[in-house]
Amino acid sequence: MIGLVLVGGYARGVLQRKLTPEQRRQAELLPELIEVGWGQDNPAFRQVFTSLFIPGGSAEQVTWFNELERLSCTPAHAARTVAAFGQIDVSDLAAGLACPALVLHARGDARVPFEEGRYLAGVIPGARFVPLESRNHVLLQEEPAYALCMEEMQAFLRAHRAAELPPDAFPTLTPGERDLLELLAQGLDNLQISAHLGLSEKTVRNKVSAVFTKLEADTRAQAIVRAREAGFGRLPLPR
């Protein structure tokens, strides 16, 4: 089963929303301004664009983002991309989705209005909507909203994958231990498991030992064999 996580997303491009005449004029002029100002050595124009993405960024983060914009996209391509994004409306496609979905959106997002995130969650059948207390479209690692976003995504992925794991195998395992056993059954070592689960290698080592105890396995190889016999190790690795 496929699951979908959207952070700061939207179904309707800016020109498909209800706009004042002034807002529409600004949106229509933006691609032309990008083509003129994007590639200049002076970052003044890109600074305006950056402020829509990370208004809460430090001077260092803003400088980095300005330079990232210049290096990652030519002015012409950036202009075409922004123009195309402004025209899209995938509301009908979103309404036809039939998979678990999690939609997260910052209340103060200056790039994509909060109401567009809420609209997107309302269009996708059964989607869960989580507001984030931030002004940043691109969440910054040091802000509380970033931690909440990561927690919500991890919980969503755990629940999503748990629904696909063998339901009756090893009932004494916790949901987190079942996630770990799935990765273990796929042959991942502790370092790889820690990267997938966002845990320290020491924590993974302790959890692996606890799983061995519950499976009554003396070795890693023995645990893997028992897990695979029970149906674990068949899911695609989470990315």
Per-residue pLDDT of the chain (239 residues; tens, 9 = 90+): 578 999 999 999 999 999 999 999 989 988 988 888 887 777 888 888 899 999 999 999 999 998 888 888 898 999 999 999 999 999 999 999 998 999 999 999 999 999 999 999 999 999 999 999 999 999 999 999 999 999 999 888 777 766 666 666 788 888 888 888 889 999 999 999 988 888 899 999 999 999 999 999 999 999 999 889 888 887 666 55
Of 191, 184, 198, the C-alpha closest to 232 is 184
Instruction: Look at the pTM and tell me if it is higher than 0.75.
Output: no
The pLDDT score that the predictor gives to residue 42 is: 78
**Which structure tokens are listed for 207?**
């959890």
CATH superfamily of 1-164: Alpha/Beta hydrolase fold, catalytic domain (3.40.50.1820)
Taking phi over 0 as left and psi of -120 to 50 as alpha, with beta for the rest, 15 belongs to alpha
Question: What are the residues facing 12 on neighbouring strands?
Answer: 89
The pLDDT score that the predictor gives to residue 39 is: 77
Q: At what angle do helices 75-87 and 21-37 cross, to 10 degrees?
A: 160
Q: Is 21 exposed, middle or buried (0-12, 13-18, 19+ CB in 10 A)?
A: exposed
Residue appearing with tokens 């706009």: 19
Contacts for 147 with CB less than 8 Å, ≥ 6 apart: none
The pLDDT score that the predictor gives to residue 165 is: 63
Q: Positive or negative CA dihedral for 126, 164, 103, 79?
A: negative
CA distance 160 to 156: 6
Q: Where are the domains of the chain?
A: 1-164, 165-229
The architecture that CATH gives domain 165-229 is Orthogonal Bundle (1.10)
CA distance 115 to 8: 11
CA distance 116 to 17: 9
The pLDDT score that the predictor gives to residue 237 is: 60
In contact, 129 and 105? CB cutoff 8 Å = yes
**Which structure tokens are listed for 157?**
């992925």
In contact, 48 and 39? CB cutoff 8 Å = no
C-beta neighbour count of 28 within 10 angstroms: 14
In contact, 35 and 76? CB cutoff 8 Å = yes
Strands 128-132 and 4-7: unpaired
The pLDDT score that the predictor gives to residue 45 is: 82
The pLDDT score that the predictor gives to residue 34 is: 87
